[in-house]
Structure 1
Amino acid sequence: MELYSNLKEGEKGAWLSIWTYLALSAVKLIIGYIGSSEALKADGLNNTTDIIASIAILVGLRIAQKPPDADHQYGHMRAETVASLVAAFIMAFVGFQILLSAGKSIINPVKASPSMLTAVVAILSALVMFLVYRYNLNLSKRIKSEAVRAAAYDNRSDALVSVGTAVGILGAVIGFPIIDSITAFIIGLLVIYTAWKIFYPSVHTLTDGFDEDDVESLSEIVLRVEGVVKLKEFKGRMHGNLMFIDLTITVNPILNVIQSHRITEEIERKIGAKKPHSVILVHIEPDLTN
């Protein structure tokens, strides 16, 4: 099934993020301590949480590939969404830790300015993370993966954080050491904001939220199918990347079972053309308004 093969391909993005974050976090933390940069250390600490978050996404993608069983008759695809939620919690926790550490540095500032090497590391890190972001974003669009898209947004956030880190370090180098600590504080805020951007859509999906634009566009498709008199009810929910749609339509009461069934097949065909990974259930009722 294409959906499962897409989830398997999504693991490439998770592995790329894991190895990149492992390398960058080690370099940033070491150079941050050697070069006396609170901002680079905060950026490195942020990347350590990204490792855990990326591992959570990888685990979620693997569980999501398991076929339906006796306990999960709709499959395990929501594991991908749960993984995104776990990643958001981890990022939020570390974001608050960064805020606390940076706040202490602002209240009790150190006089030593960071070395220029820390700024170079931050700039190179931003470039690397931007390349990883572009790869994961393109991958998420191709395989339509919520978890890989969350990883891409995290990659983009980390690239921007590293740019900000470099700016803060350069400000401290030219004679304003407190800018380094202020930048670390801003990094903490950005980490928390990124966590929220991942958290909200994950919770929306897990609570059976459904895109209103999809409701409108798919309803129009149903109403244009020949033989449909009214669309009485439309319900939709996401199960990982699989869309479940339940419809109730009315048809001419003189139609026989075969004719009515053909209408449901046409609805399924047209919705499936727009939303390939979808399961559609159509309930038919006789139209008694005339």
Structure 2
Amino acid sequence: MVNFFAKIFIKDYKNTNNPNIQLKYITLSGIIGLALNLILFIIKLTAGLIIGSVSIFSDAFNNLSDTLTSLLAIFGSTFSRRPADKEHPFGHGRYEYIASFLVSMVIMYVGYSLFKNAYEEIRNPSKAEFGLLSISILVFSILLKLEMYKYNHDLYKRFDSVLNDGVAKDSLNDVVATSAILLCGFLNQFIDFNLDALAGLVISVLVFKTGLDFAKDTISILTGEEVSDDIKGKITDIVLNSTYIKNYHDLNVHDYGRGKILASIHAETPYDLSILTIHDEIDRVEKEVMKKLHIELVIHMDPTYSYYDEEKTKYKTELLKINSINDLKQISWPAEILKRGGLVVIPTETVYGLAALYNNENAIRKIFEVKNRPLDNPLIVHIADFSDIYDLAEDIPEKFEQIAKEFWPGPLTAVLKRKSTVPDIVTAGGDTVAIRMPDNEITRKIISLSGPLAAPSANLSGRPSPTNPKDVLMDLDGRVEMIVDGGISRVGIESTVVDFTGEFPTILRPGFYTEDDFLKYYEKVLLDLSLKDKNQVPKSPGQKYKHYAPKAEMYIYDYNLENRIDKMKKDLESYKNQGKKVGILTFNEYLREFDTPYVKSLGSIKDTEENSRKLFSSLRDFDRYNVDIILAEGIKEENLGFSIMNRMKKSAAGKIIK
């Protein structure tokens, strides 16, 4: 019955996971109960007066009192929907429990009144005359009360509504009471004893006990009781399914009524991952608990274990954490691997690089094989000191030497005329070589011990570049001998590649440094045509082929798109209705706009350096979540934002919603 009327009167009636929709169902059940009990009161009062039955007459007023329980249900559910305010920061959900307690009081009062009337009838008995009319009325009443019990019990089971539980129990009492009245009325026609009054007495005791038990249950909730093992289990299942949470303790749940259940838990997290990585994962878990359980969970971080000490036992590749630049014993280890022709993953401020000695052609060939990288895609050579450049390049412009003093070490790659000492496999047969000096002291120390290193990003070709060791392991575990752990990359996207062989510098690949950074040395700075025209073939590493792509299909919502957040929310719901698992990539300012646990933040919309740092790691996290679709908010294409959007467009294979 409630479901029928819900389709008519409740908007979004199918969204029964929403606490507000649940309360609307409860309100509707109260309104239906109010109408039905008034009908039963009028019918039974008429019948009781006609045939002179004290039990039917009492049952009529029992139904009248049931209208009060229906009013309380309406009152409780309506007030429970009121939003939180200054005086009630946790909302008004406990009105439902208060209303339930009042319902129990009404039930007990009815039981007392019925007992009193039945006792008087036993002392002063009267003969009730049962006929077809009275029997029909009582049977109709039983059927109607069974229906009321059914829909109230159903709402109790669906929404754990103590209010509907009380009304259901009261309806079942009425079924028992009316059935007893019907039976006693029939037997009274054959025996000379007032069974009608006796039935009323027994019924009154049952009604009173039901009210008393219900009052005790409601008081238990209001005074605070232990949360069910089922709820605890659901919370901990989601928490322990996290990538970085190993264990937990001190789970506390506080029930402030429907739609406002607060919980806190202490989660054991690694102490050797960045606070940003752990924060993002905890934020995702909290959102998933809210989405699935409608519980506001706060997770307290307890950094109790080493992530890498535990993780490295799962992998074939050696993971090396170098604690100090002065630890020559540790630093010489990767250098020796490189000198004997092995591959080592090195940390830089941009992304992690897959390194081999630049002049060892067999080792360089391994890089292409491991990455599945086309041989016509040149590599960048990394040096430890500016003097190394003279072994690799010639005809070095004087202005570049000035530029190098300002921008090296750092995220700048210079394209210069190559020397013949640089193998063709490094330059893809071209007459130029790309060189950079990374801003990572440990990596430069390794280079100083081994010699210059050719190093593209340490990922499988086409995948998002790795900015932490965990992301490297996703692609290259067992394919390389060692990964040097340098934590999280500071910049997060690859270096700016600039061709200095012409009259004016040409930016081949945008990065951390932009046109404005070079204008103090040149009167103009050029952009490679491929950055403006997608039909032009790029000249820079990482630009020629599909690149930076997550496993899921990705769409970018242009920064200038009107109402882009509303559009993203609409498309999110559309994909979810198709059964898709959807990831959202957005800014801090809009995180709470999206109803999905798979939301990753690019940082503040005002902080492009943070956006740069988080981009690739976020795309990698979406791979871990196994999402089907990624909806990403675009960035304003100016300065560093231009470089970030260059990577995002390639990640999405140019799928931009404008």
Please give the TM-score of this superposition, normalised by the length of structure 1. Answer: 0.88
**Cα drift, residue 58 of structure 1:** 0.7
User: Which segment is superposed worse, 209-218 or 95-104?
Assistant: 209-218
Q: Which residue of 2 aligns with 1:241?
A: 258
Q: Is the 8 A contact 1:133 1:155 kept in 2?
A: yes
Q: Which residue of 2 aligns with 1:110?
A: 125
Query: Residues 93-242 of structure 1 correspond to what in structure 2 (within 5 A)?
Result: 93-106=109-122, 108-116=123-131, 117-142=133-158, 145-218=161-234, 220-221=236-237, 222-242=239-259
Q: Deviations over 1:98-139 (max 9, x none)?
A: 112212323x15151332343332221001111222233334
Q: Which amino acid in 2 is paired with 1:30?
A: T
Q: Which amino acid in 2 is paired with 1:181?
A: A
CA RMSD of superposed structures (Å): 2.6
2: CA distance, partners of 1:139 / 1:111: 42
The partner residue of 1:62 within 37, 54, 78 is 78
- Secondary structure at the aligned position of 1:250 is classed as strand
- Secondary structure at the aligned position of 1:248 is classed as strand
**Cα drift, residue 191 of structure 1:** 1.5
Kindly tell me: are residues 181 and 111 of structure 1, through their superposed partners in 2, closer, same or farther at Cα, counting changes over 3 Å?
A: same
1: CA distance, partners of 2:68 / 2:91: 25
User: Which segment is superposed worse, 212-221 or 70-79?
Assistant: 212-221
1: CA distance, partners of 2:55 / 2:188: 10
**Cα drift, residue 87 of structure 1:** 0.9
User: Which segment is superposed worse, 153-162 or 233-242?
Assistant: 153-162
User: Which segment is superposed worse, 21-30 or 108-117?
Assistant: 108-117
The answer as to 2:272 corresponding to 1:254 is yes
**Cα drift, residue 266 of structure 1:** 4.5
- Secondary structure at the aligned position of 1:173 is classed as coil
- Secondary structure at the aligned position of 2:212 is classed as helix
Kindly tell me: are residues 176 and 287 of structure 1, through their superposed partners in 2, closer, same or farther at Cα, counting changes over 3 Å?
A: farther
Q: Which residue of 2 aligns with 1:17?
A: 33
1: CA distance, partners of 2:192 / 2:55: 13
The list of structure 1 runs, each at least 4 consecutive aligned residues, that deviate by more than 6 angstroms after superposition, is: none
**Cα drift, residue 239 of structure 1:** 2.2
Q: Which amino acid in 2 is paired with 1:70?
A: K
**Cα drift, residue 223 of structure 1:** 3.6
Q: Which amino acid in 2 is paired with 1:232?
A: H
The partner residue of 2:67 within 27, 51, 68 is 51
Kindly tell me: are residues 213 and 143 of structure 1, through their superposed partners in 2, closer, same or farther at Cα, counting changes over 3 Å?
A: closer
Q: Which amino acid in 2 is paired with 1:231?
A: Y
1: CA distance, partners of 2:266 / 2:113: 50
Please give the TM-score of this superposition, normalised by the length of structure 2. Answer: 0.41
Q: Is the 8 A contact 2:184 2:196 kept in 1?
A: yes
Name the count of aligned residue pairs.
288
Q: Deviations over 1:203-256 (max 9, x none)?
A: 222122233323542364134433323322011132222322221222222232
1: CA distance, partners of 2:72 / 2:27: 11
Kindly tell me: are residues 176 and 259 of structure 1, through their superposed partners in 2, closer, same or farther at Cα, counting changes over 3 Å?
A: farther
Q: Is the 8 A contact 1:205 1:237 kept in 2?
A: no
Kindly tell me: are residues 47 and 259 of structure 1, through their superposed partners in 2, closer, same or farther at Cα, counting changes over 3 Å?
A: same
Structure 1 gap ranges (5+): none
User: Which segment is superposed worse, 27-36 or 150-159?
Assistant: 150-159
Question: Relative CO higher for 1 or 2, CA cutoff 8 Å, sep ≥ 6?
Answer: 1
- Secondary structure at the aligned position of 1:105 is classed as helix
Identity %: 21
Kindly tell me: are residues 288 and 119 of structure 1, through their superposed partners in 2, closer, same or farther at Cα, counting changes over 3 Å?
A: same
Q: Deviations over 1:76-112 (max 9, x none)?
A: 1111111111111111112112112212323x15151
Query: Residues 77-88 of structure 1 correspond to what in structure 2 (within 5 A)?
Result: 77-88=93-104
Kindly tell me: are residues 199 and 27 of structure 1, through their superposed partners in 2, closer, same or farther at Cα, counting changes over 3 Å?
A: same
Structure 2 gap ranges (5+): 1-14, 310-658
* Rg larger for: 2
User: Which segment is superposed worse, 168-177 or 85-94?
Assistant: 168-177
The partner residue of 1:287 within 288, 300, 304 is 304
Kindly tell me: are residues 73 and 122 of structure 1, through their superposed partners in 2, closer, same or farther at Cα, counting changes over 3 Å?
A: same
1: CA distance, partners of 2:287 / 2:83: 24
Q: Is the 8 A contact 1:113 1:175 kept in 2?
A: no
- Secondary structure at the aligned position of 1:87 is classed as helix
The structure with the largest strand share of the pair is 2
Q: Is the 8 A contact 2:76 2:96 kept in 1?
A: yes
The structure with the largest helix share of the pair is 1
